[in-house]
Amino acid sequence: MSWKNKFPKENRYFETKNGILYCADCLEILPLIPDKSIDLILTDPPYNASNSSLSFTDKHYKTINENWDKNFNPVFYDYCVNLLKKGGQMLVFCSYHLLGNYLQKSKLKLQQILHWVKKNPVPGFTKVYAYSVEYILWWIKTGKPYTFNKKYRFSYKDVFETILNRSKFSEHPTEKPLNLITALINTHSNENEIVLDPFIGSGTIAVACEKLNRRWIGIEINLEYCEIAKKRILKETRQLKLNFSQ
């Protein structure tokens, strides 16, 4: 019996041997996923996407201080609590203005707040310093020991420094570095475990899971990004097959 059979069949956009991509609102799919079925949740919600005077072509990223962004409420958190196995973990990227929203959440144990420092941040266009730090909130569902593979850590410190870069397939405004995502997945999960990303965007987490032999579930509301993610994942799986056959 395939591991994928227990997950919802609605809105499936693309599949590999290791993963499923859903094109839908995550709040429609998350309630359909069985409780205690996920080992790691690693995600980058669309926070602070409007906090700029710049306009993006993607209609989901609007102008400064849109209410959907300013009043962001991480309701997905409560669904995710039930989806994690005991000893499961959740890592969520966020900016400083949302820390209060997340710190009010208490159903999981907040283990640590990690810091991602961008060596080449987007320059500030107003009378402020360039925003070069994002946070990664790390929660654990207690009940069993959690996975922490020290040898794969990006850094022995709680500060991760990288440059901003994008895959050639993507024009996603907040794509995260593949090397950072790969390190997080390697550190906080083991092979064949299931990684969930409710906001998969251009597919970085799925690509990393394919490289690392993790099973994955991704959800993305934007059809354009679903197609970008599909192309990136296909490229990765073809390359892995080529490497295996050599």
CB 134 within 8 A of CB 116: yes
Q: SS3 for 177-233, per residue?
A: CHHHHHHHHHHHCCCCCEEEECCCCCCHHHHHHHHHCCEEEEEECCHHHHHHHHHHH
**What does the buried/exposed string (b/e) look like for 43-56 if buried means 16 or more CB atoms within 10 Å of the residue's CB?**
bbbbbbbbebeeee
Residues in the chain: 246
Average pLDDT score over residue span 110-128: 86
> Which pLDDT band, with edges at 50, 70 and 90, does 170 fall under?
low
| The 159-162 sheet, strands edge to edge | 12-15, 19-23, 215-220, 194-197, 38-43, 84-94, 133-140, 109-118, 159-162
Q: Which domains does the chain have, with CATH numbers?
A: 3-245 (3.40.50.150)
Question: 24-38, 57-71, 137-151, 212-226: which range is least confident on average?
Answer: 57-71
Q: How many CB atoms lie within 10 A of CB 181?
A: 25
- Residue 75: predicted pLDDT: 87
CB 39 within 8 A of CB 189: yes
Amino acid at 166: R
Model pLDDT for residues 32-67, shown as the tens digit of each residue:
999 999 999 999 987 655 544 444 444 443 344 445
- Cα distance between residue 155 and residue 228, in whole Å: 30
| Helices marked H in the chain | 26-29, 67-70, 76-83, 99-103, 178-188, 204-212, 223-245
Q: Which of 10-19, 39-48, 119-128 has the highest mean pLDDT?
A: 10-19
Average pLDDT of every residue of the chain: 86
- Cα distance between residue 193 and residue 155, in whole Å: 23
- Residue 241: predicted pLDDT: 63
- The pTM of the full predicted model, rounded to 2 decimals, is 0.87
Model pLDDT for residues 69-110, shown as the tens digit of each residue:
455 678 899 999 999 999 999 999 998 888 888 999 989 999
CB 136 within 8 A of CB 116: yes
